[in-house]
Amino acid sequence: MSHALDASGAGSDTPNLDFAGTTPYEDYVQADVLTHLQHLRSDDPGEMVFLVTTQVMELWFTVIVHEWETAAKALREDRVPVAMDALKRSLRELEALNASWRPLAQLTPAQFNSYRSALGEGSGFQSAMYRRMEFMLGDKSASMLVPHRGAPRVHAELEKALHEPSLYDEVLRLLARRGLPVPASVLDRDLSQRYEPSPQVEAVWTELYADPDGQPDLHRLGEVLTDVAELVWRWRNDHLVATRRAMGAKTGTGGSAGVTWLEKRAQKNVFPELWTARSHV
Ligand code: HEM
C-alpha cells in the first residue's frame, strides 16, 4: 500500500492515506455512527448543543460506571491499589463531566423554550446510566426500573445493578474484613434497598479518620470516596442552577415539580457517614 502513496508524492514519514475498507480509526472509534446520532427535533440552532451535551454526559456516565464497577470488583478481591486507581480516574472524569455543563449553564428561558416542546415528555430523569451511577453509590430504588420496562436490555442491566452490592457496600465489606466493627445488619442488608446511614459505620469512619496512619490505605480510600461524593453533589447542583436559569419554577418535561424536586435530590448526601463522621474526629 505504501508504494501507492510514494507514487502520489507522500513520503514514508507522512500518514497512511490508503485503506482497503473503512479506516482503522473508524473501525475502532465508530465516529461515523457517533456523529450521525444527532436527530434534531426542531429548527432551532441551539438544540444541537443541548442534544450533544446530553449525549456527552451519557458517555461520561458510562465511563464512570465502568470505573466504579472496576473499583467494586477490586475491593471485593482486596486489591485496594487497583480500586484506588479506578476511583482516581473517575475523579478526573467527573470533573470533565461537570465541565460539560458550561455550554448549557446560561440558557435563557426563551432559548430553552425554542426547542423545549420538541422534547415532549423526554427528561434526563429517564437516563438509565445516571440511575446505574446512583445505584453504585448506594441510592437504590426498584421504582426507578419502571420507566425502562419497554427496553429489555436497559431494564436487565438496571435490575442486575439493583441487586448487586454497590461500590459503598464493597467498601464496608472491606472495612469489616480489615477488622473494623461494621455491624452485621449493614453487611447483610437487602442490597436492593437504598443504603441508610448507620451510627456504627459513622463510628468506624471516625476511628479511621482519628488515626490516619493506623490503616493509611483505608484512610486514603475514605478521602477518594469523599472526592467522588463532592463531585457528584456538584453535578447535581450545577444541573439545579442551570435548570433554574432555563425554566424558573415551571414543571419538568418528565412531570416533576421541576426545581423544587431537583432541590430535594441535590440535598441527598453521597456516602453519608463520610461526611457526618467529620464532626466527631
Ligand atoms: C438546562 C437544561 C436542562 C433542564 C432545564 C433540565 C431540567 C430537568 C428537570 C426539571 C428535571 C426533573 C425531572 C423532570 O420533571 O423532568 C431533570 C432531571 C434530570 N436531568 Fe435534567 N435538565 C437539563 C439538562 C440536563 C442534561 C444535559 C442532563 C444530562 C444527561 C440532564 C440529566 C438529568 C437527570 C439525570 C435527571 C434526573 C435527576 C434525578 O433523578 O435526581 N439534564 N432535569
Indicate if the pLDDT at residue 181 is higher than 50. Answer: yes
Helices 80-99/47-76 angle, 10° precision:
170
Ligand 1 contacts CB of residue 126 (under 6 A): no
Question: What separation in Å is there between the alpha carbon of 125 and the centre of ligand 1?
Answer: 6
Burial call 118-137: b when 16+ CB within 10 Å, e when fewer: ebeeeeebbbbbbbbbbbbb
**pLDDT for position 167:** 98
| Residue 41 DSSP one-character state | S
Atom 39 of ligand 1 has which residue's CA nearest to it?
125
Which grid cell is 23?
479506516
Closest CA to 256 of 124, 131, 113: 124
Average confidence (pLDDT) over 152-173:
98
- Tell me the C-alpha distance between 100 and 165, whole Å: 30
Question: What separation in Å is there between the alpha carbon of 44 and the centre of ligand 1?
Answer: 20
Question: What separation in Å is there between the alpha carbon of 170 and the centre of ligand 1?
Answer: 29
Average confidence (pLDDT) over 140-144:
98
**Percentage above 90 pLDDT, the chain:** 96
Long-range Cβ contact pairs of 125-131 (< 8 A, separation 24 or more): 125/252, 125/254, 125/256, 126/254, 127/58, 127/61, 128/154, 128/157, 128/158, 129/58, 129/61, 129/62, 129/65, 130/61, 131/158
**pLDDT for position 11:** 66
Give per-residue pLDDT as tens, 51-67.
999 999 999 999 999 99
Ligand 1 contacts CB of residue 253 (under 6 A): yes
**pLDDT for position 12:** 79
**pLDDT for position 1:** 43
Give per-residue pLDDT as tens, 117-138.
999 999 999 999 999 999 999 9
**pLDDT for position 25:** 98
Which grid cell is 71?
473499583
**pLDDT for position 3:** 46
Give per-residue pLDDT as tens, 23-39.
999 999 999 999 999 99
Mutation pick for ligand 1 pocket among 111, 241, 262, 268 (CB with most ligand atoms within 8 Å): 262
Give per-residue pLDDT as tens, 3-27.
445 545 556 799 999 999 999 999 9
* Cβ–Cβ < 8 Å for 64, 34: no
Indicate if the pLDDT at residue 183 is higher than 50. Answer: yes
Ligand 1 contacts CB of residue 252 (under 6 A): yes
Average confidence (pLDDT) over 168-183:
98
Note the maximum CA span of the chain: 75
* Cβ–Cβ < 8 Å for 93, 64: yes
Ligand 1 contacts CB of residue 125 (under 6 A): yes
Give per-residue pLDDT as tens, 250-264.
999 999 999 999 999
Average confidence (pLDDT) over 99-125:
97
Average confidence (pLDDT) over 228-244:
98
Which grid cell is 9?
508524492
